[in-house]
Chains A and B, each alone.
Chain A
């Protein structure tokens, strides 16, 4: 039976297309893997994103911070192909792309760990890791290859999942988080989006995830790290983009920014360098 989930159904809706004829967006920043130009997204009457532009480079952690409801998860959805923007463009290596579905985004090298992890709780760890990308052997699933690769991946992430044949339902929150991250890393994506990866975690696990983010950067991934807890990200972020009420409320360099500046930009209390909040 279909379970109605009107709010969380991320299938692309045809919103107002009027914005599609917006002025030609600016060119991508040189060296950027992924650039967003003038992205807007409405949900009915709610304007979740409005004219958002940003760039991510390889070997870089871009932290996107903002208060609850600022549009961070919507942004993650747009980058990961779960939402189609109503206006604006996505550029991959400077070329415009249309991410019609998460599968398309993935095939272009963009992987996401969604805020709710988007795991199927009735499937086991291996099944979740390879869902929709299973290797086959003579038309049948190659369980041996999958299981080997699963142990390898989870070993790299340094976790202690008791068995890769355990349904995800039976894992702890931290273990699920790792499974979701491992899945995102599976095809060696160039861009990894992590939406609130530490929200459900304790202090030690948070440190582990941030550690992982640093390793991703070292490997050359471009990481978009989303959080409403700006303080957590200061250790790992290279740059900050502050979202406020669906708009970019400022772009700040991690080296020079203080926590108060971030907080001010998130709440709109003052106007630090970068774009003006409206």
Chain B
């Protein structure tokens, strides 16, 4: 290698850090807004929508905002949310998986059949169900990358095949009930964090976030890079503390935070860190943004794509397992059309682009909360399934419009 001698730097290579920490608050505001990373700015509309939905339903029927109803809402959201998290990953990589519902239904059936009919320990049944997800994702990934099959139709085919397999697995009985004493059912229905556990968890999360933010800030300062002002860091941490503390306090007046909800939130947080802070996450966004450019830059495009398919199907299987636990049953309807439509809609409503390369793990959470809130609110109003579909569909159109408009500057 020919070493490249650094030429004498004739001017300051980067803007002075002080430009960022300027004291005039009003002069700083527009720049601050502009510098808000996509992630934070991108969350604002969806959080606004969520607040609006809650306000409207709360005004029409105060029972909607009762702690008990919100606890139910979170429990309802968790299985679909886990599935939506997988959908976020395939969408980010510029692919799609329409079969997540079938995978989740098949996984639920596998758990039910192995534990009830074959009398396996339930842990083993869950492992088998998750393995089914891994195999399905691997199959999609290899067919999509090696043969170049378009994932839209490929996973549509998978949807039908797996729905058929699910019927076969369930056999003539069509529906299998899980025993109420199994720990999966207990976990999904009765498992709630004790107040002490919930508050310790909140404290731990806030401590970690604050520590990471401050460490990063001081590293950037040492490297003479622009950094967020201390006030902004405090605002961010304080906001998080208020959000988490408020949620735990309010839900705690009813049953509190369910284990499946904790599992879902942890998965979202882990995937978020993987996406933003690891090479894998960056290559996922690169592949989804521009497959060819990513390849030319040296990204292992095929491996990244396969990994997203595998993660998606595995999350779908896990979502199915959680759903089976929650309903204490698996039947022919488990993981039907509503499941995958809701999961994909949630990812898009949460702000993950259908066009690939843009989105965040948190969109699985916000998206599924919006959809579940709408459906819960309409149910409280005694409106039927028909109106639920229509309203959710209209919200999806709104989200799609936003997605397409955001993409517009590039495509036109």
Query: Which positions in A face B, CB cutoff 8 Å?
Result: 1-5, 8-11, 58, 80, 82, 101-103, 106, 109, 112, 114, 118-123, 127-128, 131-134, 136, 139-141, 143-145, 147-148, 151-152, 154-156, 163, 165, 169, 183, 185, 187-190, 215, 219-221
Contacts and interface: CB of A to CB of B under 8 A. Distances in A.
* Chain A interface helix/strand/loop/mixed: loop
A107 to B, nearest CB: 8
Contacts of B355: 1
Contacts of B410: 121, 169
Contacts of A58: 2
A216 to B, nearest CB: 9
Nearest to B287: A120
Contacts of B290: 118-122
With most chain A CB atoms within 10 A of its CB, the pick from B4, B13, B286, B356 is: B4
A169 B406 CA distance: 12
Interface in B1-52: 1-7, 9, 11, 13-14, 35, 37
Nearest to A102: B296
Contact of A132 (B3, B152, B299): B299
B96 interface: yes
A156 B6 CA distance: 8
A102 B282 contact: no
B284 to A, nearest CB: 11
B289 A120 contact: yes
A219 B286 contact: no
A2 B151 contact: yes
* Chain B interface helix/strand/loop/mixed: loop
B286 to A, nearest CB: 5
Contacts of B326: none
A102 to B, nearest CB: 5
Contacts of A11: 295
A148 B225 contact: yes
Interface residues of B, number: 53
B152 A131 contact: no
B136 interface: no
A140 B354 contact: no
Given A102-B295, A118-B290, 10 more contacts: A114-B296, A122-B288, A122-B358, A127-B285, A131-B282, A132-B279, A136-B279, A155-B14, A169-B409, A188-B4
Contact of A155 (B13, B277, B296): B13
B292 interface: yes
Contacts of B172: none
Contacts of A106: 298
9 contacts: A1-B95, A4-B150, A8-B292, A122-B290, A141-B282, A143-B216, A144-B216, A144-B225, A148-B14
Given A141-B282, A147-B225, A155-B11, A9 B292 contact: yes
A10 B296 contact: yes
B308 to A, nearest CB: 13
A123 B2 contact: no
A272 B13 CA distance: 48
Contacts of B354: 1
B9 A131 contact: no
A5 B150 CA distance: 12
